[in-house]
Structure 1
Amino acid sequence: MALRPVQVNIKAVDVAAVGLFWAEALGRHMSGGESGVTRLVAPAGFVWPDPVDVCIDVVPVPEPKTAAKNRVHLDLATTSAAHRTELVARLQALGATPVDVGQGDVPWAVLADPEGNEFCVLEPRDIYRDTGPIAAVVVDCVDPRAMARFWDAATDWTLHEVNDHQASLRSAQDVGPYLEFIRTPETKTGDDRVHLDLLPGPGDGKEAEVARLRTLGATDLDVGQGDVPWTCLSDPEGHAFCVLAPS
Structure 2
Amino acid sequence: MTLRPVKVTIDALDDSAVGRFWAEALGRRDPAGFGVGVVAVREPGPRPAVKNRVHLDLATASTAHQAELVARLRSLGATPVDIGQGDVPWTVLADPEGNEFCVLEPREVYRDTGPIAAVVVDCADPRAMARFWDEALDWTLHEVADDRAVLRSAEGAGPYLEFLLGPDAKTVPDRVRVDLLCQPGDDREAEATRLRALGATDLDGGRRDVPWTCMSDPEGHDFRILAPRA
2:12 aligned residue: 12
Q: CA deviation at 1:229?
A: 1.8
Residues 64 and 115, structure 1, Cα contact 8 Å, conserved in 2: no
Does the alignment pair 1:130 with 2:112?
yes
Aligned length: 229
2:73 aligned residue: 91
- The range that moved more, 225-234 or 120-129, is 225-234
Q: Once superposed, which parts of structure 1, at least 4 consecutive aligned residues long, lie more than 6 Å away?
A: 223-226
Q: CA deviation at 1:187?
A: 1.0
Seq. identity, %: 70
SS of residue in 1 equivalent to 2:120: strand
Does the alignment pair 1:58 with 2:40?
yes
Name the amino acid aligned to 2:57. Answer: D
For 1:223 and 1:71, locate their aligned partners in 2 and report how far apart those are by CA, in whole Å: 23
Does the alignment pair 1:209 with 2:191?
yes
For 1:128 and 1:15, locate their aligned partners in 2 and report how far apart those are by CA, in whole Å: 29
- The range that moved more, 106-115 or 223-232, is 223-232
2:92 aligned residue: 110
Q: Given the superposition, is the C-alpha separation of residues 129 and 223 from structure 1 closer, same or farther in structure 2, using an over 3 Å criterion?
A: farther
Q: Given the superposition, is the C-alpha separation of residues 80 and 225 from structure 1 closer, same or farther in structure 2, using an over 3 Å criterion?
A: farther
Structure 2: stretches of 5+ with no match in the other structure: none
2:165 aligned residue: 183
| TM-score of the pair, normalised by structure 1 | 0.89
Does the alignment pair 1:149 with 2:131?
yes
For 1:83 and 1:64, locate their aligned partners in 2 and report how far apart those are by CA, in whole Å: 35
- The range that moved more, 10-19 or 132-141, is 10-19
SS of residue in 2 equivalent to 1:115: coil
Q: CA deviation at 1:245?
A: 1.1
Name the amino acid aligned to 1:42. Answer: P
| TM-score of the pair, normalised by structure 2 | 0.96
SS of residue in 1 equivalent to 2:16: helix
Name the amino acid aligned to 2:31. Answer: A
Does the alignment pair 1:42 with 2:34?
no
- The range that moved more, 197-206 or 174-183, is 197-206
SS of residue in 2 equivalent to 1:198: strand
Residues 204 and 213, structure 2, Cα contact 8 Å, conserved in 1: no
**How big is each residue's C-alpha offset from its partner over 1:173-192, in whole Å with a ceiling of 9 and x where there is no partner?**
01100000000112111010
Q: CA deviation at 1:223?
A: 8.5
Q: CA deviation at 1:56?
A: 1.1
Name the amino acid aligned to 1:16. Answer: S
For 1:175 and 1:246, locate their aligned partners in 2 and report how far apart those are by CA, in whole Å: 21
Name the amino acid aligned to 1:190. Answer: V
Say what the alpha-carbon RMSD is for the aligned residues. Answer: 1.6
Q: CA deviation at 1:222?
A: 3.3
Residues 12 and 64, structure 1, Cα contact 8 Å, conserved in 2: no
SS of residue in 1 equivalent to 2:57: strand
Structure 1: stretches of 5+ with no match in the other structure: 30-40, 47-51
Q: CA deviation at 1:225?
A: 7.4
Q: CA deviation at 1:202?
A: 2.1
